[in-house]
Amino acid sequence: MLRLTDIVSRFKYLPVVLVGAATLMGIEQGAQSQQADDALRALYQRPDAVPYPEDNPYSDAKAHLGKLLFFDPRLSGENNLSCASCHNPSFSWEDGQKTSVGVPMTRLGRHTPTVLNLAWGELFFWDGRAESLEEQALGPIASSVEMAQDLDQLVGKLQAIDGYSDLFEKAFPGTGITLENVGAAIATYERTIVSATAPFDRWIAGDESAISDAAKRGFALFNGKANCVACHEGWNFTDWGFHDIGLPDDQDLGRYEQLDIASLKHAFKTPGLRNIVERAPYMHDGSIRTLEAVVQHYNHGFVQRETVSESIFALGLTDDEVADLVAFLHTLSSDDPAVTYPKLPN
């Protein structure tokens, strides 16, 4: 006969076994969760070096010359606007205005995009009409509604400034002052404009105290329910692509005007999100003033039309989730070194 004591003896270790198995399962699941978390964070690791094209490699002389040209208003037709007039380092290389202002005090139709981290860029301007930074650099200079400088006269204008001859010769030995070298020098300087390490980067590197719990929840939402990662991917938070995000602008057709492809109507380049707090207002037309309003646009405020990106859909975010997302975006702001305005040559 099986005695009660035998039954107790047989099963007295069962709770321990069950607890042990549950613990092992928890450890395994925790390890898998940690691996997934590490893999996700790895997608946002900062690059180790700035890329420069083979046909326009970096040199100190070229970057120095490019900075002078970037801040020199004499590159404009009326000697009153420089590249830095719109791309102001105090506004994370934007200008804080809804849309840009050109000459003669012409209000343009698009918001000034940042030049931050463009060394990694693919196609430039909101509509992607420039294939390189070198091409982009000359575009606003020549535009009749921006800097309004006749490019045929620019070389002679620079040659008349004694200090520039030596600077161009140092940067471009044997070729001196040419339009191509103007674009190459400015592009080289622009590639040096890189956002510094932000709290988000310190968290990615393992400092759990670098960002708040709200920001951590926001990061999870960014990569999950809010679907921001569909377009804002990687360390600079952009796919460099073009998307119709449902802004109510029927006049500016964006990328479509360059390629005449119907699906690209209202499609504009995805901006990176580094230092995004300092870059208000937002969107290609500067129509949204706050980050909270940006999130609400994607949450439920976009215009419905055939060309709206398939990545844009009603998110169903709560007010707390919106706040968490905004908290995360604040962690992308870095304490960048102060930019000194250079002494221009005479």
Catalytically active residues, by annotation: 146
Element (H, E) at 32: helix 14-42
Q: Collapsing DSSP states into helix, strand and coil, what is residue 94?
A: strand
Sign of CA dihedral 250, 255, 259, 263: negative
C-alpha 175 chain-centroid distance? 34
Q: How many C-beta atoms lie closer than 10 Å to residue 200's C-beta?
A: 26
CA–CA distance from 3 to each of 8, 14, 66, 90, 178 (Å)?
9, 18, 93, 84, 102
- On whether the CB atoms of residues 139 and 115 are closer than 8 A, the answer is no
Q: How many C-beta atoms lie closer than 10 Å to residue 79's C-beta?
A: 12
Q: How many CA atoms lie within 13 A of 41 on its CB side?
A: 16
- On whether the CB atoms of residues 210 and 198 are closer than 8 A, the answer is no
